[in-house]
Amino acid sequence: MLTLKQIREDKAFTLERLAVKGVDATEAVEKIEALDDERKSIQAQLDACLAQQNAIAKEVGMLFKQGKKEEAEAAKAKTVQLKERSRSMEERLRAVGEELNAVIVTLPNFPNKDVPRGKTAADNVVVRMGGTNPALPEGALPHWELARKYDLIDFELGVKLTGAGFPVYKGKGAALQRALIAFFLDCNTAAGYTEIMPPLMVNEASGFGTGQLPDKEGQMYHVTLDNYYLIPTAEVPVTNIYRDVILDESDFPIKMTAYTPCFRREAGSYGKDVRGLNRLHQFDKVEIVQLAHPDRSYEALDGMIAHVESIVQKLELPYRILRLCGGDMSFTSAITYDFEVYSAAQGRWLEVSSVSNFESFQANRLKLRYRDAHKKTQLAHTLNGSSLALPRILAALLENNQTPENIRIPAALAQYTRFDRI
């Protein structure tokens, strides 16, 4: 979350930055200012009250020593009143602090100065493109038809077992899924990321730490009896490994990768754009996470983008990289780059990765800090990216590599599948 200092340091800047994300924060910021002023006033009164109590306590001791019992008892009675007053002020201070925090957590992260203005995906900026769009044979099929033809994925069986958005992978479809996971993890560990195998459910504190709660509560599956949440991405448990941790400056960068199934309710998703693997409630993803020194987090971001790009290139997929506009960015992100691959059979771009720098926004919620050269604690920066999300990668691989006779497997992946054709 934003710090109180960030919000109050320059009100005009705060409102201008949040407006880039399409948020009118005027009312919230004014309420934060009023609550903070009230908090400071109560704290000053409380400090004065406590100081008065301490002074009277010393006076009572002196009066008893001097044998002035009546005066001492009167002073003690005054202390009782002051204690009651201070207790009341402490309760009000706590309530104001909680109300202040509740308003602050509703504000999204400041977008970086390089984030373009805009409201929807149509306003995103193409940074660069790569690869070549394939020339498909006449009568080329979308991936859901290819999955049926070659018995790779059974969407109807998934509906029977669970519901729409929970496909069943079979035969070479399952082998291809497993191969992609191993390929992505090997690429990441070779680039210096430590592999993590985290839990698939997290507690409320973890959901709050990375910003899914309370912002995305409606999109998460909630195990109500135990108050656990099924993870929407490995980012949540992996980043929370360092919740309430103070690092040394020499620990940076910390680089982690994890494969997990991911669970998202995706409420309200329907239509042709969510057919097949285009949008699922359960899907596989390999994630990369970095904890970085604030002075070097944008260098880390550039490295993560280059790393994800190298993996897409190895898969021989046509792609483009977009810098998201303010209105299309997540609640927590300071800047986000999306990777999309081109689906020749569907004639559309499919998002397969988001790479983001959250700057100190998540770290403040996580209480993730480091000691600087002067031994002072500072907030770290956190970053994460999909490396990669499997469903649409698999869709594009099937569609773009189809021939009248079979589906070709890219050379880099064939050593993992142990077959080069389906």
Q: Where are the domains of the chain?
A: 4-104, 121-417
Work out the pLDDT band at 54, boundaries 50, 70, 90: confident
Nearest C-alpha neighbor of 244 from the set 360, 375, 366:
366
Q: What is the pLDDT of residues 269-283, one digit of tens each?
A: 555 567 999 999 999
Mean pLDDT of the chain: 95
Q: What are the distances in angstroms from CA 75 to CA 67, 72, 83, 113, 344?
A: 14, 5, 12, 60, 86
CA 357 to chain centre: 9
Task: Give CATH for domain 4-104.
Answer: 1.10.287
Please check the confidence at residue 78 and state whether its pLDDT lies above 90. Answer: no
**Cα–Cα distance for residue pair 183/416, rounded to 1 Å:** 7
**Cα–Cα distance for residue pair 416/413, rounded to 1 Å:** 5
Please check the confidence at residue 349 and state whether its pLDDT lies above 60. Answer: yes
State the amino acid at position 170 in one-letter form: K
Work out the pLDDT band at 268, boundaries 50, 70, 90: low
Query: How high is the pLDDT of residue 62?
Result: 79
Residue indicated by tokens 């993890």: 185
Helix axes 390-400, 171-190, angle to 10 degrees: 120
In this structure, which long-range contacts are made by residues 49-56, counting pairs with CB atoms below 8 Å and at least 24 apart in sequence? 49/82, 49/85, 49/86, 49/89, 50/86, 52/82, 53/79, 53/82, 53/83, 53/86, 56/82
Query: How high is the pLDDT of residue 217?
Result: 79
Query: How high is the pLDDT of residue 57?
Result: 82
Nearest C-alpha neighbor of 369 from the set 240, 108, 360, 2:
360
Q: What is the pLDDT of residues 362-373, one digit of tens each?
A: 999 999 999 999
Query: How high is the pLDDT of residue 214?
Result: 87
Which residues lie closer than 8 Å to 249 by C-beta, 6 or more apart?
293, 370, 371, 372, 373
Which residues lie closer than 8 Å to 380 by C-beta, 6 or more apart?
242, 247, 252, 291, 292, 293, 294, 360, 363, 368, 369, 370
Please check the confidence at residue 231 and state whether its pLDDT lies above 90. Answer: yes
Are 60 and 79 a contacting pair, CB within 8 Å? yes
Are 417 and 409 a contacting pair, CB within 8 Å? yes
Q: What is the pLDDT of residues 158-213, one digit of tens each?
A: 999 999 999 999 999 999 999 999 999 999 999 999 999 999 999 999 999 999 99
Nearest C-alpha neighbor of 205 from the set 237, 245, 247:
237
Please check the confidence at residue 310 and state whether its pLDDT lies above 60. Answer: yes
Please check the confidence at residue 335 and state whether its pLDDT lies above 70. Answer: yes
Please check the confidence at residue 47 and state whether its pLDDT lies above 80. Answer: yes
User: Averaged over 285-314, what is the pLDDT?
Assistant: 98
**Cα–Cα distance for residue pair 366/360, rounded to 1 Å:** 10
Q: What is the pLDDT of residues 232-250, one digit of tens each?
A: 999 999 999 999 999 999 9
b/e 95-133 (16+ beta carbons within 10 angstroms → b): ebeeebeebbeebbbbbbeebbebeeeeebeeeeeebee
66 vs 38, higher pLDDT: 38
Please check the confidence at residue 38 and state whether its pLDDT lies above 80. Answer: yes
Q: What residues form DSSP beta bridges with 154?
A: 168
**What CATH class is the domain 121-417?**
alpha beta
**Cα–Cα distance for residue pair 36/32, rounded to 1 Å:** 6
Q: What residues form DSSP beta bridges with 323?
A: 125, 337
